[in-house]
Chain A
Amino acid sequence: MTAGKRKLISPALRAAMLWPHTWAGVTLGGLLMLVFFMGSLAVFASEIDRWMMPDTRIGAVETPEAAISLDRTVVPLVERLAAGRVVRDWFVQLPDERRPVMALRVRTESGTAGGMATADGALLPPVGTLGASSFFYPLHYSLHLRAGFVGYWIVSFASVAMLAGLISGVIIHARIFKDFFTFRNWGQLRRSLLDLHNLTGVLVLPFHLMITFTGIVIILPIVLPAGVQALYGGDIQRFYDDALGNYSRPRAGIPAAAAPLDPMVAEARRLWGSGEAAVIFVYNAGDAASVVRINRDTGDRISLDVQPVFFDGVTGALLKYQPPGPMVAAHRVMSGLHFAAFEHWPLRWLYFLFGLTGCVLIGTGMLHWMEKRRVVHGRPGVGWRSVAALTCGTTTGLLIATLAMMAANRLLPSGVPSRELVEVGVFFLTWIASAVHAALRTRLDPPWSSQCAAVALLAAACVLLNWITTGEHPVRAAAAGDWAVVGVDAVLALTAAGAWSVSRRLARRMRPEASTLSRLTDHA
């Protein structure tokens, strides 16, 4: 370290940085843990969906070979889903590499209907679950609090705190280069925790900065609404229409026959030059003002620009195809960096693992605070016990809730009314129960050992239940090329093994061990 650097970061600056770093970590650590953990799961949302919806797995349906005809296959499905009611709008997500079935959603004059269908046009029975893409993933960015964008605000506030924590952490870290690569997992627990905290904070810093920053950028129009307020009177939909090159027009009220869709897809592909159609929307179906929108698949690029092409639904004429401006293009690239929607398996695994190192970073920070307080204050007080319970409830408690939901997904019979909501209920009740258990049992330490044992048992139960209820054990899945199920089962098995060994070690020592806890989070 040079002399100039030493002057740049004075002890006073370091001390000034330390208290917001500590306070942000202790108060928002639990929330950030949820955001990072669910975000990591969201990387493999499609794979977890396949695991939770056995009817849509590779082994259950034929993989589509030829391109699907919208007019011959999809339009009849829409009519079947509408069941005689007048269709207003509908959209279809065509099958892709990670989802061998198509997903449809139809809005009729009286309510909506949705479903999955195979590529040859057979409607599948209702999946009966929200799965990872409609439960874990929205939990990551909105906490399922959509009214007034409250959840978005909370998450983006926590993200700004995370960004501040990352940067203040680098300033606080006194021996950043001398301690590079250092993790002493022997000796004092407090030192090991701080080593691991620094190590994940420094080495994974590029990823953490990128993911936190791009995460805020995605919802920037929501959390910084001044521009939208001034130019669009607060109508965020109209802003997005303009910015993203969307097109909409009101219903004419005059019925009209629809033009065939397949030539529109062919025309869209010609306009794109390369790439495939991913989603097709039909607005104002059966009306003279009908609009067809075709989105491009973004699997082959970082940018999330779906290059929508709009056609007149009656004449089939091109209505709008507008490349985004430079600001929007930059925003789409940053969103794409965050979403990782591209077809790139090494990157997908790295995103997953580094997301989990975010959990390690936050968890070790909270554990270090707990250990330090214990040394300074001796007997733990109410504040210490609440942070300890919070830490336990958001690490092992969150794992238990997630695994309990996956186990419930395999256990609940398909006939249960509102099956998907029962699963969500299982998730939240289990989470509350494990948090209460953590709060009640925290005396000198949170109940790490028993909660780890619960994680291990639940994860092992998930693998076994999947085998029993679907007959698809990892070996058969691998033989069938169903890598989604192999992957989910493998990670579950690793979690079970890791959590079990941690639990045994803790039970022998009766003291929480930092390195083992981090290993547990790694395996999650």
Chain B
Amino acid sequence: MPDVLSFPAIFGLCYIAFAALALTVERHWRDLVDSRRPPPRRTVLRLRCAAALSLTAALSAAVHRDGAGFGILLWVLALTAGALAVSATVTWRCRPARGRTR
């Protein structure tokens, strides 16, 4: 992978991982997917597996890019960045829905 693309890739993998985890949170599942039912157990399990896989992939990409020290630091900070981006997305996706129901 070219070096220029690896940072967006690490960030993107963290974003995907936290997006999957956000869907396992009952409130966000009801807001975004199905307002009548909580997420099925098997879906939650699959989402969590996908999240773990993405996070591992992000860690290996980060370590591959920058070596162990910088890679782990970059990964930890990219985790936070990904999680913040996911919560911004959740806010943005939920706001019109709430607006209509009120």
Q: Hey, which bits of chain A sit against chain B, CB under 8 A?
A: 177-187, 199, 203-204, 206-207, 301-302, 337, 342, 344, 346-347, 350-351, 353-354, 357
Contact A203 B70 (CB under 8 A): no
Q: Which of B25, B69, B76, B91 contacts A185 (CB 8 A)?
A: B91
Cβ < 8 Å to A, chain B residues 64-97 = 66, 69-70, 73-74, 76-81, 83-84, 86-88, 90-91, 94-95
Closest 4 A-B residue pairs measured CB to CB?
A181-B87, A350-B77, A203-B83, A183-B91
Contact A346 to B7, CB < 8 A, known contacts A181-B90, A186-B98: yes
Question: What are the residues of chain B within 8 A of A301 when measuring CB–CB?
Answer: 69
Contact A182 B69 (CB under 8 A): no
Contact A302 to B70, CB < 8 A, known contacts A178-B27, A199-B87: yes
A187 CA / B99 CA spacing, docked (Å): 10
Extra contacts, 8 of them, besides A181-B22, A207-B77 (Cβ < 8 A), are: A180-B25, A186-B95, A187-B98, A203-B83, A302-B69, A342-B70, A346-B7, A350-B77
Question: What are the residues of chain A within 8 A of B70 when measuring CB–CB?
Answer: 302, 342, 344, 347
Contact B26 A178 (CB under 8 A): yes
How many whole Å from B77's CB to the nearest CB in chain A?
4
How many whole Å from A154's CB to the nearest CB in chain B?
28
Q: Which of A181, A206, A353, A354 contacts B86 (CB 8 A)?
A: A181
Contact B87 A347 (CB under 8 A): no
Contact A181 B25 (CB under 8 A): yes
Contact A344 to B66, CB < 8 A, known contacts A182-B90, A183-B91, A206-B80: yes
Q: How many A-B residue pairs have CB under 8 A?
A: 73
Contact B28 A206 (CB under 8 A): no
Question: What are the residues of chain B within 8 A of A199 when measuring CB–CB?
Answer: 84, 87
How many whole Å from A301's CB to the nearest CB in chain B?
7
Of chain B, the residue at the smallest CB distance from A181 is: B87
Question: What are the residues of chain B within 8 A of A346 when measuring CB–CB?
Answer: 7, 74
Question: What are the residues of chain B within 8 A of A347 when measuring CB–CB?
Answer: 70, 73-74, 77
A182 CA / B27 CA spacing, docked (Å): 9
How many whole Å from B47's CB to the nearest CB in chain A?
13
Could you say which of A178, A180, A184, A301 has the most chain B C-beta atoms within 10 Å of its C-beta?
A180
Q: Which of A180, A342, A354 contacts B22 (CB 8 A)?
A: A180
Contact A203 B74 (CB under 8 A): no
Contact A184 to B91, CB < 8 A, known contacts A204-B84, A207-B77, A301-B69: yes
A186 CA / B95 CA spacing, docked (Å): 7
Ordered by A's residue number, 20 sampled pairs between the chains whose C-beta atoms are within 8 Å are A178-B27, A179-B27, A180-B25, A181-B28, A182-B27, A182-B28, A183-B90, A183-B91, A184-B91, A184-B98, A203-B80, A204-B80, A207-B77, A302-B73, A347-B70, A350-B80, A350-B81, A351-B77, A354-B77, A357-B84
A428 CA / B100 CA spacing, docked (Å): 49
A514 CA / B18 CA spacing, docked (Å): 25
Contact B95 A185 (CB under 8 A): yes
Identify whether the interface residues of B are mostly helix, strand, loop, or mixed.
helix
Contact B79 A206 (CB under 8 A): yes
Contact A181 B18 (CB under 8 A): yes
Question: What are the residues of chain A within 8 A of B26 when measuring CB–CB?
Answer: 178
How many whole Å from A437's CB to the nearest CB in chain B?
33
Of chain A, the residue at the smallest CB distance from B28 is: A181
How many whole Å from A193's CB to the nearest CB in chain B?
14
Question: What are the residues of chain B within 8 A of A204 when measuring CB–CB?
Answer: 80, 84
A302 CA / B88 CA spacing, docked (Å): 31
Of chain B, the residue at the smallest CB distance from A342 is: B70
Of chain A, the residue at the smallest CB distance from B91 is: A183
Of chain B, the residue at the smallest CB distance from A515 is: B91
Of chain B, the residue at the smallest CB distance from A357 is: B84
Question: What are the residues of chain A within 8 A of B98 when measuring CB–CB?
Answer: 184, 186-187
A181 CA / B7 CA spacing, docked (Å): 23
Question: What are the residues of chain A within 8 A of B74 when measuring CB–CB?
Answer: 344, 346-347, 350
Of chain A, the residue at the smallest CB distance from B83 is: A203
Question: What are the residues of chain B within 8 A of A344 when measuring CB–CB?
Answer: 66, 70, 74
Question: What are the residues of chain B within 8 A of A178 when measuring CB–CB?
Answer: 25-27
Question: What are the residues of chain A within 8 A of B95 when measuring CB–CB?
Answer: 185-186
Question: What are the residues of chain B within 8 A of A187 when measuring CB–CB?
Answer: 98
Question: What are the residues of chain B within 8 A of A337 when measuring CB–CB?
Answer: 73
Of chain B, the residue at the smallest CB distance from A353 is: B81
Contact B99 A186 (CB under 8 A): yes
Q: Which of A183, A207, A350 contacts B87 (CB 8 A)?
A: A183
Of chain A, the residue at the smallest CB distance from B88 is: A183
Question: What are the residues of chain A within 8 A of B94 when measuring CB–CB?
Answer: 184
Question: What are the residues of chain A within 8 A of B84 when measuring CB–CB?
Answer: 199, 203-204, 357
How many whole Å from B44's CB to the nearest CB in chain A?
13
A350 CA / B99 CA spacing, docked (Å): 33
Question: What are the residues of chain B within 8 A of A186 when measuring CB–CB?
Answer: 95, 98-99
Question: What are the residues of chain B within 8 A of A177 when measuring CB–CB?
Answer: 25
A206 CA / B94 CA spacing, docked (Å): 27
How many whole Å from A14's CB to the nearest CB in chain B?
21
How many whole Å from A300's CB to the nearest CB in chain B?
9
Question: What are the residues of chain A within 8 A of B81 when measuring CB–CB?
Answer: 350, 353
How many whole Å from B17's CB to the nearest CB in chain A?
12
Could you say which of B26, B27, B99 has the most chain A C-beta atoms within 10 Å of its C-beta?
B27
Of chain A, the residue at the smallest CB distance from B62 is: A346
A354 CA / B91 CA spacing, docked (Å): 20
A313 CA / B87 CA spacing, docked (Å): 59
A253 CA / B81 CA spacing, docked (Å): 58
